[in-house]
Amino acid sequence: MELQGTVKKLFDAQTFASGFQKREMVILTQEQYPQPINIEFLSDKISLLDNLKEGENVKVGINIRGREWVSPQGETKYFNSITGWKIEKVMDNGSEPTQASPAQSASPVSNENPFAGDDDDDLPF
């Protein structure tokens, strides 16, 4: 899957006692209702964030992961995480949301019936 948006926040890398490393970023999606999405980069992928700056437009390749956890009281909870694995910088097209627009025709639209002069009706019905 891919997410596209503007880099809102870059966090410092975190190293845990086990040696595990992660670094997080937040992108703001470019749609009618922009969403701040937290994405984590793990181990060798944290270096992908080194050349980014807040405010840049990016496209991020992501995986969505889920896990189940059972509390000491026996209650089961479910957690999701979004993990990044690829980043591409996208050309800056201003702060306008990216939306699909209909293709513009170079020639004016005609309201004439192109079949008006056809008297050959070769349809069987």
68-108 pLDDT per residue, tens: 999 999 999 999 999 999 999 998 654 444 444 444 444 55
Task: Tell the CATH topology of 2-89.
Answer: OB fold (Dihydrolipoamide Acetyltransferase, E2P) (2.40.50)
Asked if 97 contacts 117 with a C-beta cutoff of 8 angstroms, the reply is: no
Quote the Cα angle for 102-108-110, to 5°.
105
3 state SS of 57: strand
- The identity of residue 24, as a single letter, is E
Quote the Cα angle for 37-43-48, to 5°.
60
Asked if 61 contacts 69 with a C-beta cutoff of 8 angstroms, the reply is: no
Q: In this predicted structure, what is the pLDDT of residue 98? A: 41
Task: Name the band, by pLDDT with cuts 50, 70 and 90, for residue 63.
Answer: very high
